[in-house]
Amino acid sequence: MKVINFDKLVHFTEKQREATRLASKFDYFLYGGAAGGGKSYWLRWYAIFWLYFYCYKKLGLRNVRAAIFCEDYPALWDRHVSRIQYEFPQGKDGIGTYHGITHEFVLHPQFGSGVLSFRNLDDPSKYLSAEFALEGVDELTKNTRETFDFLRMRKRWPGIRRTKFIAGTNPGGIGHAWVKDLWLNRKFGTGEKEADKFKFLRATVYDNKYLPKEYISVLDGLPEKMRKAYKEGNWDMFEGQVFTEWSADRHIIPPFLIPAGWRRFRSYDHGRTAPACCKWYALDNDGRVWVYRELYKAGLNVDQLALEINRLSEGETYTWSVADPSIFAKQGMVDKGGGETIAQNFARHGIVFIRGSNRRVDGWQLMHQYLYCDEINNPKIIYFNTCFNSIKTIPSLIYDEHKVEDVDTKAEDHAADTDRYMLMSLKESKGDRPKTDIEKKLEEIKNRDSITDFNKFYGS
């Protein structure tokens, strides 16, 4: 074989040809949507196409390295490694050789000796010193935003000005929200310099003419939300979604002036490297909860967070404020008595929290009840459209693979946890303000019979 006849080798569908045109034009290309659309097949063959036609034929570069990544090795084997050994022509009449020890396919010298590596993302930091001219990620939504940002730093190659990032994915997974934000909603941070280089192409099951009709019948038999995600490529519904009750039309409204007679509350989920989340709530006379403000920031210490919470709370009075139970644990055990807790630190700034319930599954069930709505019943929790992070992350949460009734804690669950603490505090209080830890201690001291008991308790 003297030249690679790409059309003869791959037999791309029309949608895969469109993906090839777009990926060649845009540096961050996502081919996403329905199952069975041929995304994985396209990823590995586009990498070969790019190494040969662009890097070697156009730029005259040899030994250029590209990589296809999956979230772990079993996925890498199932989707790619087990297929390329019969799919990529090998031998003297083929286009290259697969090396099983290194999991690399190397093009023959007459085709530029480009290398396509197959790697997993169980620990992205192991690629700290690696460089790739093209990176492809299969099932991008199974990865965190941090993984994507790390891979961007490894996307470089001498002599290639426009390196490539390509990906294929179905809706759902721990990365659903951030992937949807970047490629579908085009919500970029203020520091993003390459926003014009992102492009999305939706895949549907009908794009792949090689799929048997029986497979489409299987998809037709799925529950509605799964069918819309996996057959139609709908990014608003997906497998494993926790809060399937979520409806943008029913749960999100423009802000309005909170009536003076409604009770107000606050809830807090702590974070430093991960975002800290504080939210403000109003309870109307019918028992509905209105989420009217949120603070969602990473990288702030407790003093900075307290100042910001107090600034946003100015002029308001709260029936109570509830918080993540972890902030009541002793921090910095430098002596026998232990250090100041985060809750005590907040209290020095005038923000006194009650301890939230950490009965996670009970809390999620309560959220299901409050989010539920139908043709007759309105939801019991509604969000102002200024609560951007709640609106983005809560409908994107998925179930834990092992604790099937719990939310996956690797997902961005901070806004949901904050709501969970609030709703559980309402349920457990039965309308009365729950007692703070200090009030509980004072009450217990009053019931003790002797000064010895008092000293023993106080000393603890």
What average pLDDT does this structure show over 78-93?
A: 89
Cα R_g (the chain), whole angstroms: 27
Tens digit of each residue's pLDDT (9 = 90 or more) over 354-381: 999 989 999 999 999 999 988 888 999 9
441: confidence class by pLDDT, cuts 50, 70, 90: low
Tens digit of each residue's pLDDT (9 = 90 or more) over 92-114: 889 999 999 999 999 999 999 99
User: Can you read off the two tokens belonging to residue 317?
Assistant: 């009075």
Asked whether the beta carbons of 141 and 171 are under 8 A apart, the reply is yes
Q: Which of 167, 174, 254 is nearest to 203 (CA)?
A: 167
Tens digit of each residue's pLDDT (9 = 90 or more) over 108-139: 999 999 999 999 998 888 898 899 999 999 99
pLDDT, greater one: 229 or 452? 229
Percent of the chain exceeding pLDDT 70 equals 84
Q: Tokens 């008092």 correspond to what residue?
A: 454
Q: What DSSP string describes 340-361?
A: --HHHHHHHTT-PPEEPP--HH
Residue 207 DSSP code:
G
33: confidence class by pLDDT, cuts 50, 70, 90: confident
The Cα–Cα gap between 395 and 378 comes to: 17
Q: What DSSP string describes 385-403?
A: TT-HHHHHHGGG-BB-SSS
Asked whether the beta carbons of 106 and 48 are under 8 A apart, the reply is no
Residue type for 90, please? Q
Residue 455 pLDDT exceeds 50: no
What is the arrangement of strands in the sheet containing 65-70, beginning at the earlier edge strand? Answer: 96-99, 104-107, 115-120, 65-70, 134-138, 164-169, 28-33, 198-203
Cα–Cα distances in angstroms (integers) from residue 10 to residues 17, 87, 138, 196, in the given order: 10, 9, 18, 30
The Cα–Cα gap between 375 and 31 comes to: 36
Strand partners, 264: 282
Residue 436 pLDDT exceeds 80: no
Residue type for 6, please? F
The Cα–Cα gap between 277 and 70 comes to: 31
pLDDT at position 259: 95
170: confidence class by pLDDT, cuts 50, 70, 90: confident
Please count the CA atoms within 13 angstroms of the CA of 269 that sit on its side-chain side. 24
Asked whether the beta carbons of 382 and 288 are under 8 A apart, the reply is yes
Percent of the chain exceeding pLDDT 90 equals 57
What average pLDDT does this structure show over 432-454?
A: 55
pLDDT at position 402: 75
CA angle 214, 232, 370 (to 5 degrees): 120
11: confidence class by pLDDT, cuts 50, 70, 90: confident
Average model confidence (pLDDT) across the chain:
86
Tens digit of each residue's pLDDT (9 = 90 or more) over 384-405: 999 989 988 898 888 887 786 8
282: confidence class by pLDDT, cuts 50, 70, 90: very high
pLDDT, greater one: 272 or 199? 199
pLDDT at position 403: 80
The Cα–Cα gap between 189 and 205 comes to: 33
pLDDT at position 337: 45
What average pLDDT does this structure show over 217-246?
A: 70
The structural domains of the chain, ordered by start, are 6-230 (3.40.50.300), 248-429 (3.30.420.280)
What average pLDDT does this structure show over 222-239?
A: 66
Span of 155-159, 280-284, 437-441 with lowest mean pLDDT? 437-441
What average pLDDT does this structure show over 17-34?
A: 92
CA angle 65, 67, 70 (to 5 degrees): 170
What average pLDDT does this structure show over 17-28?
A: 95
What pTM was computed for the model? 0.61
Query: Residue 134, Cβ neighbours under 10 Å: how many?
Result: 25
